[in-house]
Each structure stands twice: as C-alpha cells, then as structure tokens.
Amino acid sequence: MAKKQINVALIGFQFMGKAHSNAYRQVGHFFDLPVEPVMKVLVGRSEHKVKAAAENLGWQEHATSWEEVIQRNDIDLVDIGTPNDSHALISQAALKAGKHVLCEKPLAISVADAKASYDVAKQTGLVNGICHNYRKAPAIALAAQMVRDGKLGAIRHFRGTYLQDWILDPSVPLVWRLDKTIAGSGSHGDLNAHLIDTARFVMGAEFTEVIGLAETVIKKRPLLADTDGGLSGFKSSGEMGDVTVDDVTSFLARFNNGATATFEATRLAPGRKNYNRWEINGEKGSIAFNLERMNEIEIYLTDDPQGLQGFHTIQATENFMPYMEGYWPVAHIIGYEHTFINMMSDLFQAIGKGEQFSPDFEDGLKNQAVLEAVDKSVQSRQWERPLF
C-alpha cells in the first residue's frame, strides 16, 4: 500500500538549506516512516541561484516567491531556512495557509514575534517544529535519557561553552549575522541559543532568572558586496560599517529545579571551529559532551567502586541507543548531517501519526525569552526573568 505523500517547500537554500535537503533525500532510507516526504519546491530570491540549487540538491521545482508557494494546494509542509528576521512572518503565513511548519532557530528575533508565531501554531493545531537539531544527536538524547532515569540524581549545575573563530579576521565583512536588525543578536543568539535549548532538554528544567554581559570587540567591518551564502566566499566593498551585534557574551542562570548554570559564547576564539561543549553535574555523577566528538559522552558516577572512579567515555553507537537503530553496527560513527536526518524522522512520524513534534514553537518561544532576558540584563546589570 502506497504511503501518503507529504509535499515539502523549503524556503532558503544555503547552509541550512543544504543540510535539510540532504535529510529529506536520506531519511526514508534509514527510518520506516508512516508518510513519504516529497521534495517538491525550493524557494530563493535569486532565480539563477535557486534554479541551480534545486537541480543540485534534488528538488522537483524552484520558485522565487514564498508568498505564492505557501498558498499552493499541493504543499503540505513549509520548511524555513531564511535569515532570522523573516522566520516569524513566514511561519505565521504558512500556518494560516494550512501548512505544517518546520522553522530554523530562532523562532523570531523578539519575544513578541515568537509569541505571535506560537499563538498561531496553537490555534491551527498543525504540526510545528523548531530546528534545534543537536537534540537529535544520539549522544545528547542518551544524556537526557540518563538524567531522566535518575542516573545523576538531583541536578545541581550546568556549564555550557560554544566557541567559534570564523569572524576572527576583521576583514570578514558585515554579513547578515552581524546585523542586529536581521540576526537579532550575535554569538548570543547564534550559539548560546543552542546551549539554552540543550540545557532545557537535558535537564528537563526551565530558566527562572539570568544575568549577562556582552561586548562587541570588532566594532567596524567592511560592507558586504556579495557572498555564496555560507560562512566563507565573502566579497567586501571598500566602505566600512558598524557591527551591531555582540562578539562575546556570557551569562549566569538559575533553574526551577534548583540548579545553577554558566553559559559563554563567542565567534572570536582562535582555533575553535565549532566547539560546543557542555557538562551537567548532579549529586551522583556528571556527564560531559563535545560536539566535535559528537558520538561520545563522558560520564562519571559516584557509585562506581572506590579506586575505579573517574570519567569514562561511552560511544553512543549501540543500536538500542536513540536513533541508532537506523544506522550502522556499533562504533561505526555518524556525523553532523545525521542530526538532521534524525530530526526529519521525528517530524514525519509526528505528521503521519497526527502528533506534535518536539522541539516545537513553545520551545522556540521559551528559548527566545531566555535570550531576550539576557539582553535586558546586559543593559540593566541586574538579574532578569524570562517573560513571554
């Protein structure tokens, strides 16, 4: 019996567009889905660029108007991979047009807009998802499972660090990620957003208050003339412009389970390419994770025999561990792209079964509330509560 087809429109075709396209192509080969995803149409602003991308990435059609595409009767799911400032607008329009929606993080660049998107999603009852793909790494999902099973006892502390160096050179021009009106914030919204979601997911707890600091270190950069849309291939003009987002940020937090936490992020850390490392400490042990070694977690348990205690490494590649049943024999590792494949598996399971996907727009709203509370505390120099 043929499966029901879910026709997908993907809006945006650069970094995340490539990752999502690969996941749509691959997910049905690894997981038994109740429905069949169809790569129907790829949308971008440049006719010749989106046409070439559609052919290269395997889409049936291409288009330049997302407004027209979301009104089409043959589109079931709208996937949003555009710059941050358009996420809320497209999400709400797609939901109102009766489409399921998967939106790249952040849900919006303000709590007000994120709340509006959440409200529309709740009113429609359609499947809605926010793309925090790191939740779908088997090692992180395993860590969350261990915490929920009580392996660490009561959680006392979370420590998160996310470091990159791709804008270290002052000659890197003013790409959209350095413009507050488009990006919302800099390393804070780009990198800390991942850590915020991970902390909520792994601990199963909510932020209650935060206090932060931020600094823009390189205050002017060349204006952008052209880009291939990725994190390289920039062409700058001879003029200079102001950087309007943070380069370095950190904050302290308290949670409703009594735990405290520290978070720090920058894109000016020489030698750190994508160093997303966090550690969670409980009364009975600790778990540590580093995205650059994404198939592993380090774990320390106080119940281990005296003399044998110490951090040891677990490979999250056994076929009984989260998501690994679809892949290879033990210790044959998976990669970054598989977090998106795992995400799409969860998404199409939700659509096929009429259930809600996780993380959803409520998670996106809560994430944005924490980001905004930190921004507010940077200005007030006081503890602030996430509000939405």
Which carries the bigger pLDDT value, residue 226 or residue 98? 98
| Matching residue, tokens 């259930």 | 355
At 234 the pLDDT is: 61
CATH of the domain at 220: 3.30.360.10
At 238 the pLDDT is: 75
Q: How large is the average pLDDT for residues 312-336?
A: 96
Residue 332 has pLDDT above 90, yes or no: yes
Q: Specify if 347 maps to a domain.
A: no
Task: For residues 323 and 242, state if they share a domain.
Answer: yes
pLDDT grade, residue 119 (50/70/90)? Answer: very high
Task: For residues 282 and 154, state if they share a domain.
Answer: yes
What is the DSSP secondary-structure string of 341-357? HHHHHHHHHHHHHT---
Residue 224 has pLDDT above 60, yes or no: yes
Query: Taken in order 58, 64, 65, 68, is the CA torsion positive or negative?
Result: negative
Q: Specify if 355 maps to a domain.
A: no
At 305 the pLDDT is: 93
Task: For residues 145 and 268, state if they share a domain.
Answer: yes
Query: Of 69, 104, 134, at which residue does a domain stop?
Result: 134
At 338 the pLDDT is: 98
Residue 97 has pLDDT above 70, yes or no: yes
Task: For residues 216 and 300, state if they share a domain.
Answer: yes
Do the Cβ atoms of 45 and 38 come closer than 8 Å? no
Query: Helices 87-96 and 111-124 sit at what angle, rounded to 10 degrees?
Result: 20
Query: Of 134, 150, 183, at which residue does a domain stop?
Result: 134
Task: For residues 85 and 234, state if they share a domain.
Answer: no
Residue 229 has pLDDT above 70, yes or no: no
At 14 the pLDDT is: 93
Q: How large is the average pLDDT for residues 125-153?
A: 98
Residue 386 has pLDDT above 60, yes or no: yes
Which carries the bigger pLDDT value, residue 12 or residue 232? 12
Residue 233 has pLDDT above 90, yes or no: no
Query: Of 79, 110, 134, at which residue does a domain stop?
Result: 134
Lowest mean pLDDT segment, chosen from 123-132, 154-163, 225-234, 366-375: 225-234
d(CA 260, CA 312): 25
Q: Specify if 361 maps to a domain.
A: no
Residues 6+ apart with CB under 8 A from 250: 212, 213, 214, 262, 263, 264, 265
Range of the domain at 148: 138-293+295-334+367-380
Task: For residues 18 and 150, state if they share a domain.
Answer: no
Token pair for 220? 């002017």
Q: Specify if 346 maps to a domain.
A: no
Task: For residues 72 and 149, state if they share a domain.
Answer: no
> pLDDT tens digits, residue range 342-367?
999 999 999 999 999 999 999 999 99
d(CA 128, CA 79): 10
Q: Specify if 82 maps to a domain.
A: yes
Task: For residues 243 and 220, state if they share a domain.
Answer: yes
At 232 the pLDDT is: 53
> pLDDT tens digits, residue range 71-86?
999 999 999 999 999 9
At 235 the pLDDT is: 67
Tally the residues of the chain. 388
Q: How large is the average pLDDT for residues 94-104?
A: 98
DSSP-derived secondary structure letter, 106: P
Residues 6+ apart with CB under 8 A from 364: 103, 105, 106, 107, 108, 114, 117, 118, 130
Q: Specify if 85 maps to a domain.
A: yes
Measuring CA to CA, how many Å separate 111 from each of 33, 90, 95, 132, 299? Answer: 34, 16, 18, 18, 36
Do the Cβ atoms of 280 and 152 come closer than 8 Å? yes
Q: Specify if 255 maps to a domain.
A: yes
Residue percentage of the chain with pLDDT more than 90: 95
Task: For residues 127 and 147, state if they share a domain.
Answer: no
d(CA 131, CA 77): 14
Query: Taken in order 215, 265, 370, 256, is the CA torsion positive or negative?
Result: negative
Q: What is the mean pLDDT of the chain?
A: 95
Do the Cβ atoms of 348 and 33 come closer than 8 Å? yes
d(CA 278, CA 353): 34
Do the Cβ atoms of 128 and 100 come closer than 8 Å? yes
Torsion of CA 91, 88, 199, 349, to 10 degrees: 0
Residue 28: count of CB within 10 angstroms of its CB: 17
Q: Specify if 13 maps to a domain.
A: yes
Task: For residues 130 and 142, state if they share a domain.
Answer: no
CATH of the domain at 78: 3.40.50.720
> pLDDT tens digits, residue range 164-193?
999 999 999 999 999 999 999 999 999 999
Number of domains in the chain: 2
